[in-house]
Amino acid sequence: MAETNTATTVEFELVSPQKLVVSEPVEMVVVPGAEGDIGVLPGHSPLIATVRPGVIDIHEAGKVKERIFVGGGFAEVSPERCTVLAEEATAVGDIDRAAAETRLSDAKQVLEGADEGATAEAERQIAIAEGLLAAANGASAGN
Amino acid sequence: MANLKDLKIRIDSVKSTQKITSAMKMVAAAKLRRAQESVEAARPYAVRMERMLGSLAQSVGGTEGAPKLLAGTGNDQTHLLVAFTADRGLCGGFNGSIVRQTRTMANELKAAGKTVKIFCVGRKGHDVLKREFADEIIEEIQGLGRRSVEYHEAAGVAQSITKLFEDEAFDICTIIFNRFQSAMTQIVTPLQLIPFEPAVSDEAEEETADEGPKAVYIFEPEEDEILAELLPRNLAVQIFQALLESSASEHGARMTAMDSATRNAGDMINDLTLTYNRTRQAFITKELIEIISGAEAL
């Protein structure tokens, strides 16, 4: 760890409340930050950011190696490490479109019937479901 | 002399008790394995969340206008104790130790002139605590984690606590739960949730003092916006963790308790069988003596 400046990889960790999803050294990872995507390479300045529902891309040898959907959360970046605390995480290939659509319509229903306090939560759920669908569409378009 | 038939009935009843306890032990062991796995899988998240919050708190803490969840209300008059117990009994000292700790803490706080409020998670704790602290219990939740503990259940608990906090029902919130050590040992752990106390050891503090400002973080969006999202999330995560720990501890405690109950039942069956055989032997001998002495008298 002493030669972090010359390292070509950054320790990437993706954690959900249920488990440690990914923990491996990667060349570059692109995190969907709340205010724009953040590309993390080794030696990145320390950063703490909120993460919007979206897809994390893990790059290797200039190509996207793995795509994982996260339902919002937080990212902490240091020169040698990138930790993402995600509320939920699913590999893009495993997204169940039907389930995502049901979730979206459920959330919309909740929003209609929601009182003041619950609106934010319902909107958050909608954002997650929409993100899931977009990720699923992107995956099928890419293939 | 003990009646042979009575003895037989008792042996049978102890045997069926033993069957139940050993079945409960098996069930608890299976559940324990699953619960233990999920506790261990969930630990990294809580640890990292705490680390992140710690570094945030360092840069924001002390400034005016820091969120109340972090800085507190500035008072320490009203304490909320959240006691995590199980819904079911027959698990050794599991519920008892939580109740005892809660009672001690509540009495100490009262003696210091503070107001105490109690939030019961789990039926057993409520059953016992309501006898003594009927007026202090402000809320209770039952039936959490029937199958397995779900994150949204913890988020629900966190939400009711946050709501109480926003309504200024309390100043300081402490949760009391069993931390899972092994199937044999559970450690009763009080943990202060509000205001958030970064778990920075003295050593770490000295270290940062030596090196000066170590890591200056860039925040995106602003610190306070991140904090406003992170703090309630942290609350839910800590509660989720506590629920998981508590459920693993419960199954561990029940397994141990049922194991010793099964063993005790085995000992008892042995004792009773011995008595039964002795009595039967004595009975036969007596009959023989009667027959022989009857024959001799002729």
Specify the pLDDT at position B230: 83
A69 & A88 share domain: yes
Please check whether residue B171 is in contact with residue B72, taking contact to mean a CB–CB distance below 8 angstroms. Answer: yes
Please check whether residue B217 is in contact with residue A47, taking contact to mean a CB–CB distance below 8 angstroms. Answer: yes
Q: Is residue B120 flagged as an active site residue?
A: no
pLDDT per residue rounded down to tens, chain B (298 residues): 568 899 999 999 999 999 999 999 999 999 999 999 888 888 888 888 888 887 777 776 555 566 777 777 778 888 999 999 999 888 888 999 999 999 999 999 999 999 999 999 989 989 999 998 888 888 888 888 777 788 888 888 888 888 888 888 888 899 999 999 888 889 999 988 888 776 544 444 444 444 444 557 788 788 778 888 888 888 888 899 899 999 999 999 999 999 999 999 999 999 999 999 999 999 999 999 999 999 998 8
A102 & A56 share domain: no
Q: State both tokens at A124.
A: 């958050």
Q: Is the peptide bond before B232 cis (omega within 30 degrees of 0)?
A: no
* Angstroms from B85 CA to nearest CA on chain A: 22
A67 & A49 share domain: yes
Q: Could you give the CA distance from residue B97 to residue B85 in angstroms, rounded to a whole number?
A: 9
Name residues of chain A where pLDDT drops below 70.
Answer: 1-7, 114-118, 139-143
Please check whether residue B235 is in contact with residue B193, taking contact to mean a CB–CB distance below 8 angstroms. Answer: yes
Across the interface, of B41, B51, B215, the residue whose CB is closest to A18 is B41
Q: What is the CATH number of the domain that holds B74?
A: 3.40.1380.10
A15 & A59 share domain: yes
Chain A positions contacting chain B at CB under 8 Å are 13, 15-20, 33-35, 38, 45-50, 74, 76, 78, 83, 85
Q: Domains in chain A: how many in total?
A: 2
A68 & A121 share domain: no
A100 & A87 share domain: no
Please check whether residue B198 is in contact with residue B53, taking contact to mean a CB–CB distance below 8 angstroms. Answer: yes
Partners of A71 on chain B (C-beta within 8 Å) are none
Q: Could you give the CA distance from residue B155 to residue A124 in angstroms, rounded to a whole number?
A: 14
Specify the pLDDT at position A16: 87
Q: Percent of chain A, pLDDT > 90?
A: 10
> With a threshold of 0.90, does the pTM exceed it?
no
Q: Is B162 on the interface with A (CB under 8 A)?
A: no
A12 & A78 share domain: yes
Residue B259 lies inside a defined structural domain of this protein: no
Q: State both tokens at B11.
A: 């042996």
Q: At what angle do helices B223-297 and B151-166 cross, to 10 degrees?
A: 120
Alpha carbon of B162 to those of A11, A97, A110, B25, B243: distances in Å?
34, 34, 22, 38, 17
- Say whether B185 sits in a helix, a strand or coil: coil
A78 & A10 share domain: yes
Q: Residue B242: name the closest of B295, B191, B298, B169 by CA.
A: B191
A111 & A76 share domain: no
Please check whether residue B4 is in contact with residue B280, taking contact to mean a CB–CB distance below 8 angstroms. Answer: yes
Which residue, among B34, B48, B58, B153, would best test binding to A if mutated, counting the most A CBs under 10 Å from its CB?
B48
Contact at CB, A48 and B56, closer than 8 angstroms: yes
A79 & A130 share domain: no
Partners of B215 on chain A (C-beta within 8 Å) are 46, 78
| Complete DSSP assignment for B249-265 | HHHHHHHHHHHHHHHHH
Partners of B42 on chain A (C-beta within 8 Å) are 17-19
Specify the pLDDT at position A60: 85
A67 & A104 share domain: no
Q: Is B213 on the interface with A (CB under 8 A)?
A: no
B100 pairs with which residues across the strands? Answer: none
Contact at CB, A49 and B42, closer than 8 angstroms: no
* DSSP category for residue A46: P
Alpha carbon of B233 to those of A74, A132, B65, B90, B118: distances in Å?
10, 21, 20, 34, 22
A70 & A15 share domain: yes
Which residue, among B45, B164, B225, would best test binding to A if mutated, counting the most A CBs under 10 Å from its CB?
B45
Domain limits for position A116: 95-140
Residue B4 lies inside a defined structural domain of this protein: no
Domain limits for position B165: 33-198+216-253
